Amino acid sequence: MNDVSESPAARAAREKAAKTSPLLLVVPAVIAICVAAVIAYTFLRDDSTESVDVSAIEADEDGVADEASAVADPPAAVELGDMPDVAVRFRGVELSGADLLAIATGATGVAPSPQALADQVTTWLLVEAVTDVLSERGVEITDEARADSEASAIAAGVPTDTLAFDAAVELQAVINALNDYARDTAATQDSTVELICSSHILLETEDDAFSAIDRIEAGEDFADVAIALSTGPSGPAGGQLGCVDTTTFVAEYVDGARASGVGVTPPVESQFGFHVIDVRYLGPLVEGADESLTPELFATLNEGAVRAAESAIFDEVVANASEAVAVEHFIDPSIGTWVFPPGAVQAPAAAG
């Protein structure tokens, strides 16, 4: 971190504040669908089957053994007789209890735990809802796309000619379509990166900052003054900070540069001290904005911006899907309850 970079504590506070956004509150559904992808390919996640050591038998002062065990009974596996006629429904499409259980046991032949079954319902609901959101945006899941997705299910070891295989193929096809949609949409959007190309002189007091400005206004080169006076690590390099995304720097630095515009700013105070900033460019990411913006750096910044845009579009679609499920769905109470946010099915609490 240099002498204008945002501190980890400041970044954490800013990100915490940003998470109060209603949209970002439902974005954890993205995590649910990613976890669901694993579930769809293994169709079993029963953490309760892990082995746990039983505590040792220790004799008390009278030589009487006292055996203690903290091992709780694992949740009973779900059997066909436990399943309802209709397990889940979304916008007129439903999945029977028997078919849900067949999907959940299709890869292993082992009956799932209640939460593993609930996780599979999360997968099913999000796949259905994301498919609808994509359809509303002109993206359809074709039979050709499903055929292209079969290799992934086969590679994951899901037996063919099973409902589990069909579910895995559908999930992969939807994920592929969503990724393609996010990539194609991001490619058509203008970059949201705000670029700042600048140098600065860092001083301990405001009076020192004004003295530096006086020398620059008297005709001294900005870099020479930085080398002579700056207390920051960029001083020996003439205060050069190159071109970066404005989110890299502390807000005070960027706000001061933005308020002043291109040229040398008045003293700008931050947690690091007082900055005298030579703003060479402040605006959208464009090639040739500054001589320090090399083609390689531009490509890196642009690629990062595109990836961020893709991620935002992906999150938006899944968030919309999760909201749609929250508004309109049926889950048999024996299977669980849709918890929103984040947008996932929680199995009923174990009896007792």
Selected residue with higher pLDDT from 4 and 207: 207
Q: pLDDT, tens digit, for every residue of 32-87?
A: 333 344 333 333 233 333 332 322 223 333 443 344 344 445 567 877 778 999 99
Q: Is 243 helix (H, G, I), strand (E, B) or coil?
A: strand
Asked if the structure places residue 67 within a domain, the reply is: no
Indicate the number of domains in the chain. Answer: 2
- Percent of the chain predicted with pLDDT > 70: 79
Residues 210 and 267 both lie in one domain: yes
Please report which confidence band the pLDDT of residue 267 belongs to, taking 50, 70 and 90 as the band edges. Answer: very high
Check: CB of residue 130 under 8 Å from CB of residue 29: no
DSSP per-residue letters across 297-329: HHHHHHHHHHHHHHHHHHHHHHHHHHHHHHHS-
Q: 289 lies in a domain? A: no
How would you class 63 by CB atoms within 10 Å of its CB: exposed for 0-12, middle for 13-18, buried for 19 or more? exposed
Average pLDDT for 318-342: 95
Shared domain check, 172 and 206? no
**Is 90 exceeded by the pLDDT of residue 242?**
yes
Q: Could you tell me the pLDDT band of residue 107, with boundaries at 50, 70 and 90?
A: low
Q: Which two tokens stand for residue 168?
A: 């895995």
Residues 140 and 247 in one domain: no
Q: Token digits for 189? A: 């959007």
Bridge partners, 88 (sequence order)? 95, 331
Range of the domain at 226: 194-284
- Looking at 12-16, 22-26, 141-145, which range is the least confident one? 22-26
Q: How far apart are CA 351 and CA 224, in angstroms?
A: 75
pLDDT band at 6 (very low <50, low <70, confident <90, very high): low
139-166 pLDDT per residue, tens: 999 999 999 999 989 998 889 999 999 9
Q: Is residue 164 part of a domain?
A: yes
Query: What token pair was written down for 59?
Result: 């004799």
Measured between alpha carbons, how far is 121 from 115 in angstroms, rounded to an integer?
10
Strands 268-270 and 273-284: antiparallel
Give CA–CA dist 207/213, Å, rounded: 10
Neighbours of 294 (CB within 10 A): 12
**Are 169 and 198 in a shared domain?**
no
Residues 159 and 86 in one domain: yes
**What's the whole-number mean pLDDT along residues 173-184?**
97
Helix (H) or strand (E) holding 148: helix 143-155
Residue 40: per-residue pLDDT: 39
Are residue 254 and residue 115 in the same domain, yes or no? no
Q: Are residues 100 and 119 in the same domain?
A: yes
Q: Among the listed ranges 47-56, 143-152, 277-286, 302-311, which one has the minimum average pLDDT value?
A: 47-56
Residue 73 is predicted with a pLDDT of 54
- Model confidence over 218-237: pLDDT tens digits? 999 999 999 999 999 999 99
Is residue 295 over pLDDT 60? yes
Report the C-alpha gap between 250 and 240 in whole angstroms: 16
Is the model's pLDDT at 98 over the cut of 50? yes
Q: Is 68 left (phi over 0), alpha (psi -120 to 50) or beta?
A: beta
Find how far residue 46's CA is from the centre of its chain.
Answer: 25
Residue 350 has what pLDDT?
Answer: 79
Task: Note whether residue 57 is domain-resident.
Answer: no
Interatomic CA distance for residues 279 and 261, integer angstroms:
7
For the domain that residue 200 is a member of, what is the CATH number? 3.10.50.40
DSSP secondary structure letters along 3-18: TTBPPHHHHHHHHHHH
| Same structural domain, 266 and 210 | yes
pLDDT for the residue 20? 32
Output the six-digit token pair for 252: 């005070």
User: Mean per-residue pLDDT for 17-46?
Assistant: 35
In the predicted model, what is the mean pLDDT of the chain? 83
**% pLDDT > 90, the chain:** 68
Does the residue 303 lie in any domain? no
For residues 30 and 164, membership in a common domain is answered with yes
Dmax over CA atoms of the chain, in Å, equals 93
Shared-domain flag, residues 175 and 42: yes
For range 302-328, the mean pLDDT: 94
Closest alpha carbon to 110 in 84, 60, 142, 74: 74
Q: What is the C-alpha separation between 157 and 160, in angstroms, rounded? A: 9
Residue 338 phi, psi dihedral angles, 5° rounding = -75, 120
Q: Which of 153, 155, 151 is nearest to 165 (CA)?
A: 153
